[in-house]
Amino acid sequence: MFCAGLTVSAQEKKKRDSVTVRDFIPKAIRVGGDVVALVRSQYEDSYSGWEMNAEVDIHRYILAFETGNWQLDLNSEDGLYANKGTYFRIGADVNFIPRNPQGNILFLGARYGRSIFSESLTTMVSDPVWGDQEVQYNTDDANGRWFEVTGGLRVRLWKIVWLGYTARYKFGLATNGTDTMEPHDVPGYGTNDSEKDSTWGFSYLVMIRLPLR
C-alpha cells in the first residue's frame, strides 16, 4: 500500500512536469489583421493602409510573419508630401504563460522588418539669402530595414476568434536609395526622426486560430 502510494505520487509529479517535454511540432496557426490600420484608413484622410499577421505556435514560441502596405498624403503650409510602400516583418515571440488554461499568450519577442517604398515632396523653399524657389523631390524604389522589440497579448475571445495587441519598439532604421531625400515616413516603421533613432508602434489584432493537430 505504501509502495503503491509512492508510485501514484511519482506519476502525479511526472504529470505535473510534463510541460517541460519539448514538443516542436506546430500546434496552431493564427491569421488576422491590424484593426488600427483599418480604422486609420477609414477615419484619417491622409492615411491608407492595411496589415496582415500570421503566427505559428511551436511549443512556447511563436513564429510571426507580418506584411502590410500604407501610404500617406500630407500637406504643410507650403508643401505636399506623399509616400507609399509595402513591408514585411519576420520574427519570433516567447510566451511567458504557456500553462494558461485558456491558451492565452503574454509574449516578448523581436522582429526584423523590411520595406520598399517611394516618397515625393513638392514645396516652396524660402531662404532669406538665396530667395524663394519651388522644388520637387522624388524617391523611387527606396528600401529600408529595421529591428523591433515586441511585446503583447493574445486572448481567446470566442471559439477560434482571438484578439490581441502588439506594442513595438522600433530601432536601427537604415535606408537605401534616399540620397536626395531623407525619409519622413517608412511604411512598416513609421516616422523617421533622425535625432531619436527609434520609434514606437502599436497593432491591435483580430485573428482566427486554426489548429494544426
Partner 1 sequence: MIRKVALYAIFALLALSCLDEPDCYNLNNNVIGIAFRKIADNKADTVAIIGITVNGSDSLFHETKLATGVELPVNVLDDEVEFVFQLAGLDGPITRTLRTSYKSRIQFVSEDCGERFIISDLRLEDHDFDSVRLVNDQPGREVTPNYGIYRCPITNRMKISFRQLGTVDSVGAAMDVFLDGISSDFSALVLYPDDTASSFLLPLNPASTSVTYNFDFKEGEADLVVDYRTVNTTRYSVCGSQTFFTDLFASSAVFDKVRVVRDSIRDPAVTNVLIQRCPDTNFIKIDFVNQAGEAGRRKVVALNGITTDYSAEVFYEDESVSSVILPLNDQADATRFTFDLESGPVDLEIAYTRTAVTLHKVCERFAISGLSIVSSGFATTPEVREDETEFPVNKTNIAIIIPD
Stretch that binds partner 1, among 9-17, 26-34, 61-69, 187-195 (CB under 8 A): 187-195
* Options 2, 24, 43, 130; binder of partner 1; rule CB under 8 A: 130
Judged by beta carbon, residue 12 or residue 78, the one nearer partner 1 is: 78
Cell numbers representing residue 67 in the block? 506584411
String of contacts with partner 1 for each residue 65-94, x by CB under 8 A: ---------xxxxxx-x-------------
- Applying the rule CB under 8 A, the residues between 2 and 61 that interact with partner 1 are none
In the complex, the smallest distance separating the C-beta of residue 159 from partner 1, rounded to whole angstroms, is 21
Closest CA to 71 of 37, 22, 30: 37
In the complex, the smallest distance separating the C-beta of residue 106 from partner 1, rounded to whole angstroms, is 6
Closest CA to 64 of 103, 97, 111, 106: 111
- Cα separation, 128 vs 123, in Å, equals 16
In the complex, the smallest distance separating the C-beta of residue 108 from partner 1, rounded to whole angstroms, is 10
Q: What would the DSSP string read from start to end of 137-167?
A: EEEEEEEEEEEEEEEEEEEEEETTEEEEEEE
Angle (CA) 46-199-137 rounded to 5° is 50
Cα 151 to chain centroid, rounded? 10
In the complex, the smallest distance separating the C-beta of residue 194 from partner 1, rounded to whole angstroms, is 7
- Cα separation, 79 vs 58, in Å, equals 49
In the complex, the smallest distance separating the C-beta of residue 99 from partner 1, rounded to whole angstroms, is 13
- Cα separation, 211 vs 29, in Å, equals 6
In the complex, the smallest distance separating the C-beta of residue 134 from partner 1, rounded to whole angstroms, is 11
* Options 1, 24, 179, 213; binder of partner 1; rule CB under 8 A: 179
Q: Is 184 in the site for partner 1 (CB under 8 A)?
A: yes
Phi-psi category of 9—alpha, beta or left, where left has phi over 0 and alpha has psi -120 to 50?
Answer: alpha
Phi-psi category of 159—alpha, beta or left, where left has phi over 0 and alpha has psi -120 to 50?
Answer: left
- What are the residues binding partner 1 (CB under 8 A)? 74-79, 81, 96-97, 106, 119, 121, 123, 125, 127-130, 133, 135, 137, 151-153, 165, 167, 178-184, 192-194, 196, 199-200, 202
